[in-house]
């Protein structure tokens, strides 16, 4: 339980003190203290002020005296703060041993919130008509990190990737291939997904503006696309599968994997929509409009002056949202599964099996990828649509939080980065657009990051082999991309900067990874295996206590990140941990001391830091090299 042990002890004792006062309805907090407020702080005095008709300061003084009567293992003293807070100071001799001993256990940081409940996390879900760009990467990394955190707190996580292989953007590249003469093979040596996005998609959409006849061709292509037996649909499947394969390669390179691929084309042909449409009518969740602009349409009524949302047009065709509703219900297990399953034909990293849905009757494999809860990672521009789906699913499931939209803001490029990557930014940050060709694919960003890291590593370590440098460059580049995508609040726009993201100072992945390498080097130079059998009372320096305290917060941070679906919590923790270690490194020596017992104790602490940082970074999908 690490630092949570002292929080629990204090909370239990304060409840006993309230019982003595015959008070039972006060919901106070017991939290890790801010600097100047001891080790733990409580707001209990403020909440008792009205009941006891005393000032918070007087109540805090009274409670600090009463606390002396409580059985206390981990608290050295309780003290009233002039502001009215009740502060507690830890018995660090005992807490040191508890925290460091637990940090060596394999299950360190585990929290059982999920109790093995199945939960779905859907992310990525990029149209298979182009390469993944840096904006998509934020979605992918958020989804992957949330999945890792939920697994850490004992959810049974199913990670899904929804492949929108029947929409307008796919129709656009089909028009390019079938009517504008684009070759099926890139002549420039590009990856196929890059070629489709950079050339076919962009140039086809540009042609729409000058050739109005293509609009009718586009509509017909889209219609044929939804007919699974048409030649157009078969051709689309060939093209989109090639693009998807390249997209997955990009994701796998960034340490992202999935459990199942779901295809929109199959959802349309599966009959799921007809079932959910009837259910919507039975539950009076949709209405038939017989007047005004939506006459002849089935609509979902808007709330709070919002416009009605059409789900079935007057010609009987379903709108975009009509594809998402049955998929959402399927993810929650509310509809009978119409799919069979087969293994994807390429293996993911770490040999994790990737399944895909199929309507092929020759495959009789059954799987269950639904969940009691669903988290869908989609950018904030889809908030209205997701709000409608969330509301419908809550009514189907009779659970308000069964379906969660985890939204996030976009990624822009700093002017310098845009310039480096060949975009004309006019000295301003650049907002990306796939349709206009104003984007930078993720592969290019990774390649540039990797070259920069290789160059710097060669300067620092000329003795390293090519394979060692390649490995370090890969881990640092992936770590940099991942960290930059999740270190901000999800509702903040990210401005990505290549140079700043690689800095060995400040809030960056390389700074954290370099700190890990520093700890590894200390352990390597010691020529011994750190032991947990040490004298814990020797930790008296402020920097030592602060590092141990930060290590002890790991499970609390995991709990916070899981409860709030916030990757930033773990990113911030990794940075705080690195800062605490570097302060320790600057203030105390570890090796070549006259006192062997102190040396062993500090080596134990260095190893505890290393283990904890590796576990925290693993939740972010970041590997920390032993050398940099």
Q: How many domains does the chain have?
A: 2
Please, which residues bridge with residue 287 across strands?
A: 299
The rounded distance, in Å, linking the Cα atoms of 40 and 218 is 64
Residue 113, phi then psi, degrees to nearest 5: -90, -40
Confidence label for 168 from pLDDT (cuts 50, 70 and 90): confident
Concatenating the DSSP letter of every residue in 409-453 gives --EEE-HHHHHHTT---TTS-EE-BTTTTB--BHHHHHHHHHHHH
Give the C-alpha distances (Å, rounded to integers) separating 32 from 29, 35, 90, 409: 10, 10, 11, 30
Instruction: Compute, in degrees rounded to 10, the torsion defined by CA atoms 560, 561, 562, 564.
Output: 80
| pLDDT tier, 506 (very low <50, low <70, confident <90, very high otherwise) | confident
Top pLDDT among 387 and 432 is at 387
pLDDT exceeds 90 at position 350:
no
Burial class (CB in 10 A: 0-12, 13-18, 19+), 234: exposed
Q: What is the mean pLDDT of residues 579-583?
A: 98
Average pLDDT over residues 40-52: 95
| Predicted local distance difference test score (pLDDT) of residue 593 | 93
With 60 as the cut, is the pLDDT of residue 435 above it? no
pLDDT tens string 261-286: 999 999 988 989 888 998 899 999 99
Q: Lowest-confidence range among 25-34, 268-277, 339-348, 569-578?
A: 268-277
Backbone angle region of 589, left / alpha / beta, with phi > 0 → left and psi within -120 to 50 → alpha: beta
CA separation for the pair 162, 451 (Å, rounded): 33
Tokens of 295: 């006459």
Looking at 315, 330, 345, which one is the last position of a domain?
330
pLDDT of residue 428: 61
Residue 349 CB contacts under 8 Å (≥ 6 apart), including other chains: 252, 255, 257
Domain that holds residue 58: 4-90
pLDDT for the residue numbered 253: 97
Q: Is residue 11 part of a domain?
A: yes
- Cα angle vertex 531, ends 527, 532, to 5°? 155
Mean pLDDT, residues 51-74 taken together: 94
- Give the count of beta carbons closer than 10 Å to the beta carbon of residue 68: 9
Question: In this model, does residue 588 exceed pLDDT 80?
Answer: yes
Residue 533 has pLDDT above 90, yes or no: yes
pLDDT for residue 431 is more than 90: no
Q: Give the pLDDT confidence score for residue 415 in this predicted structure.
A: 80
SS3 (DSSP) at 118 = strand
Token readout for 117 is 């409940």
Q: How far apart are CA 238 and CA 226, in angstroms?
A: 15
pLDDT one-digit tens code per residue, 119-134: 999 999 999 999 999 8
Q: Is the pLDDT of residue 458 over 60?
A: yes
Q: Report yes or no: 254 and 482 within 8 Å, Cβ to Cβ.
A: yes
Q: Which is more confident, 1 or 462?
A: 462
DSSP code of 534?
S
DSSP label at residue 492: S
- Distance, CA of 310 to CA of 288 (rounded, Å): 10
Is 60 exceeded by the pLDDT of residue 437? no
Domain closes at, from 25, 58, 90: 90
User: pLDDT tier at 526 (50, 70, 90 boundaries)?
Assistant: very high
The pLDDT, as a whole number, for residue 618 is 98
| 309: β partners | 300
pLDDT per residue as tens digits for the range 537-580: 999 999 999 999 999 999 999 999 999 999 999 999 999 999 99
Q: Supply the pLDDT for residue 427.
A: 57
Residue range 151-162: mean pLDDT, rounded: 98
| Averaged confidence pLDDT in the chain | 92
pLDDT value of residue 35:
87
- Does residue 434 carry a pLDDT above 60? no
CA 576 to chain centre: 19
Compute the distance between CA of residue 320 and CA of residue 222 in angstroms, rounded to an integer: 13
**Tokens representing 195?**
């070629």
- pLDDT score, position 429: 62
* Model pLDDT, residue 500: 82
420 vs 428, higher pLDDT: 420
pLDDT level of residue 166 (50, 70, 90 thresholds) = confident
* Higher per-residue pLDDT: 437 or 189: 189
Distance of CA 308 to the CA centre of its chain: 33
Name the domain boundary from 330, 352, 376: 330
CA distance 253 to 44: 50
Asked whether residue 569 is domain-assigned, the answer is: no
Span 588-617, average pLDDT: 96
Q: What is the average per-residue pLDDT within 135-141?
A: 95
What HEC string does 343-408 produce? ECCCCCHHHCCCEEEECCCCCCECCCCCCCEEEEECCHHHHHHHHHHHHHHHHHHCCCCCEEEECC
317 has pLDDT over 80? no
φ, ψ dihedrals at 287, nearest 5°: -135, 150
Q: Is the pLDDT of residue 617 over 90?
A: yes
User: What average pLDDT does range 308-319 have in this prediction?
Assistant: 84
pLDDT on residue 212? 87
- Does 60 fall in a domain? yes
- Identify the weakest region by mean pLDDT among 174-188, 236-250, 434-448, 465-479: 434-448
Q: Is the pLDDT of residue 625 over 70?
A: yes
- Evaluate whether residue 218 is within a structural domain: no
Residue 505 has pLDDT above 80, yes or no: yes
Q: What is the pLDDT of residue 426?
A: 64
CATH number, residue 85 = 3.30.1360.70
294 vs 128: CA distance, rounded Å = 32
The phi and psi torsions of 76 (rounded to 5 degrees) equal -85, -40
């Amino acid at each position: 339980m690490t630092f949570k042990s002292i929080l629990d002890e204090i909370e239990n004792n304060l409840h006993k003190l309230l019982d003595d006062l015959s008070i039972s309805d006060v919901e106070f907090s017991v939290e890790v203290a801010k600097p100047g407020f001891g080790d733990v702080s409580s707001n209990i005095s403020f909440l008792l002020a009205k009941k006891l008709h005393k000032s918070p300061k007087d109540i805090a003084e009274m409670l600090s005296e009463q606390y002396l009567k409580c059985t206390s293992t981990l608290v050295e003293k309780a003290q009233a703060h002039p502001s009215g807070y009740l502060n507690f100071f830890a018995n660090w001799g005992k807490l040191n041993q508890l925290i460091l001993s637990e940090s060596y256990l394999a299950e360190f940081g585990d929290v059982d919130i999920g109790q093995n409940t199945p939960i779905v996390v859907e992310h990525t879900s990029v149209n298979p008509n182009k390469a993944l760009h840096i904006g998509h990467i934020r979605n992918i990394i958020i989804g992957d990190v949330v999945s890792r955190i939920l697994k850490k707190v004992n959810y049974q996580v199913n990670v899904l990737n929804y492949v929108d292989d029947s929409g307008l953007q796919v129709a656009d590249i089909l028009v390019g291939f079938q009517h504008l003469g684009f070759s099926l093979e890139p002549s420039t040596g590009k990856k196929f997904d890059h070629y489709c996005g950079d050339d076919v998609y962009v140039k086809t959409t540009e042609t729409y503006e000058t050739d109005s006849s293509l609009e009718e061709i586009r509509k017909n292509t889209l219609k044929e696309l939804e007919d699974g037996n048409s030649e157009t649909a078969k051709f689309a499947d060939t093209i989109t599968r090639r693009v998807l394969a390249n997209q997955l390669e990009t994701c796998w390179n960034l340490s992202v994997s999935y459990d199942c691929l779901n295809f929109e084309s199959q959802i349309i042909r599966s009959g799921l929509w007809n079932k959910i449409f009837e259910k919507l009518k039975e539950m009076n969740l949709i209405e038939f409009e017989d007047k005004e602009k939506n006459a002849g349409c089935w609509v979902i009524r808007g709330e709070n002056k919002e416009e009605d949302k059409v789900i079935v047009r007057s010609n009987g065709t379903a709108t975009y949202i009509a594809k998402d509703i049955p998929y959402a219900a399927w993810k929650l297990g509310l509809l009978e599964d119409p799919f069979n399953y087969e293994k994807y034909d390429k293996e993911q990293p770490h040999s994790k099996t990737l399944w895909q849905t199929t309507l092929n009757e020759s495959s009789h494999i059954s799987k269950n990828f639904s969940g009691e809860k669903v988290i869908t990672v989609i950018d904030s521009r889809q908030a209205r649509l997701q709000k409608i789906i969330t509301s419908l699913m809550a009514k189907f499931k009779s659970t308000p939080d069964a379906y969660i939209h985890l939204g996030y803001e976009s990624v822009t490029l700093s002017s310098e980065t845009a310039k480096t990557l060949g975009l004309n930014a006019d000295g301003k940050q650049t907002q990306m657009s796939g349709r206009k060709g104003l984007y930078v694919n993720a592969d290019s960003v990774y390649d540039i990051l990797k070259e920069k890291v290789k160059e710097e590593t060669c300067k620092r370590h000329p003795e390293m082999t090519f394979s060692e440098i390649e490995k370090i460059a890969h881990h640092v580049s992936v770590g940099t991309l991942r960290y930059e995508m999740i270190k901000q609040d999800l509702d903040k726009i990210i401005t990505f900067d290549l140079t700043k993201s690689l800095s060995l100072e400040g809030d960056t992945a390389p700074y954290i990874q370099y700190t890990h390498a520093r700890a590894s080097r200390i352990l390597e130079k010691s020529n011994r295996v750190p032991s947990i059998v040490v004298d814990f009372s020797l930790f008296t320096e402020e920097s030592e206590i602060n590092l141990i305290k930060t290590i002890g917060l790991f499970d609390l941070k995991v709990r916070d990140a899981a409860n709030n679906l916030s990757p930033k919590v773990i990113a911030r923790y990794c940075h705080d941990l690195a800062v605490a270690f570097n302060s320790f490194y600057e203030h105390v020596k570890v090796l070549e001391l006259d006192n062997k017992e102190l040396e062993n104790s500090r080596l134990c602490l260095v190893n505890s830091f290393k283990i904890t940082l590796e576990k925290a970074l693993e939740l972010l999908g970041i590997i920390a090299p032993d050398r940099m």
